[in-house]
Structure 1
Amino acid sequence: MTLTRTLRALGAALVGLPIVAVPGCASTAPPPPPPQSHAGRPDRGAQLIAQYGCGSCHTIPGVNRANGLVGPPLTQFGARSYIAGELPNNADNLRRWITDPQAVQPGTAMPNLGVSAIDAQDIVAYLYTAG
């Protein structure tokens, strides 16, 4: 059998087979949109981030003196897949993490700062809108 006939036979055999996506391969599909919080006030969230002292450990865009290096930078937070490497990045999980990080990941370096539910909602709204 010639090479041409072999290739034609192979091509004919492959027609109709499903296409399988392989994890880790490059994709031309656009990334999913960042998570959003439809509740909360981002403007108040920035003030609360400063009030609770989050910037002493984290670098946070748009918050004065938020240039800490202990925790990860919170820049482009909405583009991240996970929170603390544990939770899928969405508003409910971020509120949960902010209000009681030790319950999510016992022994984490993130302290429980006593953030109320309403304050966490505003902080979440800010983090998803900040660059």
Structure 2
Amino acid sequence: MMSRTLLRLAARLIWILACPVLLLGGCGPSAPKPERSSTVGDAEAGAIWIGRSGCGSCHQIPGIMHANGLVGPPLIHFSRRTIIAGYLPNTRENLVRWIQHPQRLAPGNAMPEAGLTDQQARDIAAYLHGLE
């Protein structure tokens, strides 16, 4: 049987190891809540597509490594915004359309066509709409 001193030491060790995880778990850039659905999109997959598509070369995007671009607007708190690209209501469907075909919606704007599929655009939209 363990002695009281050993039990106290074990309890303290567990607390010391668990405390940083509990305290720091909510720190850092806000990451979206994962959503999984073919019609809504997968936020985790969206983060991958954001990285692969180079979105961070123009935008600052929380939770995406090296996404510190200064060309486009920062996408911090994206879900709280009411307008996309200056004139589209911020709905998931409008965001998917904008991500997929920005030049069709506003010819000559600075955002390039990235050649994304509908599902890839939905995944990116799920990620961005999770940024509170």
Q: Give the TM-score, by structure 2 length.
A: 0.69
Structure-1 separation of matches of 2:83 and 2:64: 22
Please give the per-residue CA displacement for 1:83-108, whole angstroms capped at 9, x wherever unaligned: 00020000000000000001111110
Partner residue of 1:78?
79
Partner residue of 1:111?
112
Residue pair 1:101, 1:112 contacting (<8 A) in 2 also: yes
Structure-2 separation of matches of 1:99 and 1:41: 16
Residue pair 1:62, 1:130 contacting (<8 A) in 2 also: no
Moved segments of 4+, more than 2 Å: none
Gaps of 5+ in 1: 1-36
AA aligned to 1:92 is: E
Q: What secondary structure, in the 3-state scheme, does the structure 1 residue paired with 2:64 have? A: coil
Larger Rg: 1 or 2? Answer: 1
Structure-1 separation of matches of 2:131 and 2:83: 17
Partner residue of 2:103?
102
The total of aligned residue pairs comes to 95
Partner residue of 2:45?
44
Structure-2 separation of matches of 1:92 and 1:40: 11
Structure-1 separation of matches of 2:86 and 2:42: 26
AA aligned to 1:79 is: R
Structure-2 separation of matches of 1:43 and 1:84: 24
Q: What secondary structure, in the 3-state scheme, does the structure 1 residue paired with 2:65 have? A: coil
Q: What secondary structure, in the 3-state scheme, does the structure 2 residue paired with 1:125 have? A: helix
* Shift, 1:69, TM fit: 0.4
Structure-1 separation of matches of 2:45 and 2:96: 15
Partner residue of 1:59?
60
Gaps of 5+ in 2: 1-34
Structure-2 separation of matches of 1:102 and 1:82: 17
Residue pair 1:44, 1:122 contacting (<8 A) in 2 also: yes
Structure-1 separation of matches of 2:130 and 2:112: 24
Residue pair 1:82, 1:89 contacting (<8 A) in 2 also: yes
* Shift, 1:115, TM fit: 1.0
Partner residue of 2:93?
92
